[in-house]
Structure 1
Amino acid sequence: MFELLIIVSAGCLCGALNAIAGGGTFVTLPVLIWLGIPPIVANATATTMAVPGYIASVWAYRHDIHAEGALSLGMIVTVAALGGMLGAILLIVTSPDAFLVIVPWLLLTATLLFGFSPRLRKLSETHAVGIPSTGVAVIILLFVTTYGGYFNGGLGIIMLAALALQGYRNLHGMNGLKNLLASILSTVSVVTFMTADLIEWKAAFPMAMANICGAYLTSRIVRRVERVDVLRHVIVVIGSAITITFFVVL
């Protein structure tokens, strides 16, 4: 019963964090490993249980999702699906140790980029740089979604940073699109993981149910926050905390 309580609590908190900015996997992954699940299987299971929460959050943000950057929504969805598949294949055929070494640095870079994205946009407008070209936008998004398919931890922070650099300004819309992309790439990843039998379903199911509740309720609350600058600061704080934790633990 105690283990089930831990699983449900972790799932709920994971959903809440992912709805705001991401990083929920860092809550669920240690719990799954603590339960005795091998790290690679725990990683795949953590991605699996996050999918329902992503979808619930997308539904809460459904009216806010609009294309603002260099890519259409159709192109963004296609790239997300491709990246999710590539990342999942990388997890299956390689050891995650080498990749986990650079995760803290990726999180640090993404948090800094997101935190300073308003200044970067002003700087680009001053120097007439503008929104990245379609090719550059595709490369950035493909890298981010491949990362998400391989290791879901901190995906939201990195994805928000990528969207901000591509010209997105509506933070609620960015959150909705971030969760839409995460749900697509994670679903593709899960299908790939299932072919390799990398999912511990006994832990994934109750954690996923709790994840839905945490994601949907948090998304509804966050959408009522009109001070997007406050929400941006909250996201930066969450990203900083996740980054520091990864540097300490890994």
Structure 2
Amino acid sequence: MDHLSLLFIAGTLAGAMNALAGGGSFVMFPAFLAAGLPPVTANASSTVALWPGGVASAWTYRAGLHPVCGVSLQRLAPVTLVGGLAGGLLLLFTPGRAFDEIVPWLLLLATLALAFGRRVGDALHGKLRRGPILLIQFGLGVYGGYFGGAVGLMMLAAWSLLGERDIKSLNGPRTLMVTLANTAAIAAFIVAGAISWPGVIVALLGGLLGGVLGARLGRRLPSGVVRAMTIVATALVTAAFFARLWFPGVI
């Protein structure tokens, strides 16, 4: 019951974070680890717990779906799905200890994306040719299926490098592509039996509550404050995972 309470609270916080500025996986994944799940199962369960929120966001943005960098979503979608499935399968076949060692670096990459992704995208706007977008999208899909932290912001940064200027208008395509990558990965997780369903259901309910609360709070808090709080939280989680990796007998 203590673990279920922890997962409900973490789900609520993660749902609120995703509604405000993203980064919910930084809370959900460690919570499943703290509940005693092995790393791979914890990551798979975290992806499932946060999935309904992504579906709801994609549905909300459905009117804003449009081509990205001149490429239709009908072409981007299957590439993202295949990438997400590949990432999910890669996670399932990654040894637990190896994944444990990779996670801090993935968290660091995601933290940097949260902090600087849009800024880098603006600075290097249009510097790449549009040709490699399908290959880049496949790589983003793989990352989304394997781990997924801040993959939405990574997509925004990559699309900006390829010439997209209006970041706000990309929210629709971004949420859809992230959801597709997660959907493909989740299918692999379910078939492999890699999900802790009791914990997922509790965290999912918390996530729905957090999403509602976060959306209401987001109307009142300045976006800069929300973003700063999210970056600080993710940086602390990343530091804790590096400490856990380097000082296993102490942390």
Shift of 1:240: 6.1
One-letter code of the match for 1:25? S
Offset of 1:9 from its aligned partner?
2.4
Percent of aligned positions with the same letter in both sequences? 31
TM-score (norm 1): 0.80
Give, as a single letter, the amino acid of the residue that structure 1 aligns with 2:13.
L
- 2:64 alignment partner, SS class: coil
Shift of the alpha carbon at 1:162? 2.1
**Closer/same/farther in 2, CA of residues 246 and 93 from structure 1, 3 Å limit:** same
Corresponding residue of 1:133: 130
Q: Secondary structure of the equivalent of 2:27?
A: helix
- Residue 102 of structure 2 corresponds to 99
The aligned counterpart of 2:66 is 66
SS in 2 for 1:63: helix
Contact 1:113–1:161, Cα closer than 8 Å, also in 2: yes
How far apart, in 2, do the equivalents of 1:45 and 1:166 lie?
Answer: 33
RMSD: 2.8
Asked whether the 8 Å contact 2:54–2:175 carries over to 1, the reply is yes
Give the one of 229, 234, 249 matched to 2:241: 249
CA 1:74–1:212: 2 relative to 1, 3 Å: farther
Aligned to 1:26: 26
| More deviation, 209-218/153-162 | 209-218
Contact (CA 8 Å) 1:70, 1:132: kept in 2 or not?
A: no
Change (3 A) 1:80 1:20: farther
Inter-partner Cα distance in structure 1 for 2:232 and 2:166: 22
Counterparts of 1:93 and 1:61, CA distance in 2: 34
Q: In 1, Cα distance between the equivalents of 2:190 and 2:228?
A: 34
Please state whether the residue corresponding to 1:177 is helix, strand or coil: helix
Q: Which residue among 139, 148, 155 is the counterpart of 2:151?
A: 155
Tell me the TM-score normalized by structure 2. 0.80
Separation (CA, whole Å) in 2 of partners of 1:177 and 1:112? 20
2:90 and 2:146 in contact (8 A); partners too: yes
Secondary structure, counterpart of 2:57 in structure 1: helix
- Between the aligned partners of 2:217 and 2:76, the Cα distance in structure 1 is 26
Q: Shift of residue 75 of structure 1?
A: 1.6
Counterpart of 2:164 in structure 1 is 168
Deviation of 1:78 (Å): 1.2
Deviations 1:178-219 (A, max 9, x none): 221121111111110112111000011121233234346646
CA distance, structure 1, for counterparts of residue 213 and residue 7 of structure 2: 18
Q: Distance in 2 between matches of 1:13 and 1:104?
A: 18
Number of matched pairs: 237
Q: Which moved more, 1:56-65 or 1:42-51?
A: 56-65
1:115 aligns with 2:119: yes
Deviates more, 1:94-103 or 1:53-62: 94-103
Give the equivalent residue in structure 1 for 2:181. Answer: 185
Gapped regions of structure 2 (runs ≥ 5): 243-251
The DSSP-based 3-state class of the residue aligned with 1:149 is: helix
Letter in 2 for 1:132: R
User: For residues 25-77 of structure 1, what are the alpha-carbon distances to aligned partners after superposition, in whole Å with 9 as ceiling and x for unaligned?
Assistant: 11111111111112211111001111101011112222233224242111221
Q: Distance in 2 between matches of 1:171 and 1:40?
A: 33
Greater RCO (CA < 8 Å, at least 6 residues apart)? 1
Residue 43 of structure 2 is aligned to residue 43 of structure 1 = yes
Task: Read off the aligned partner of 1:75 and give its amino acid letter.
Answer: R
Cα distance change on mapping 1:158 and 1:68 into 2, 3 Å: closer
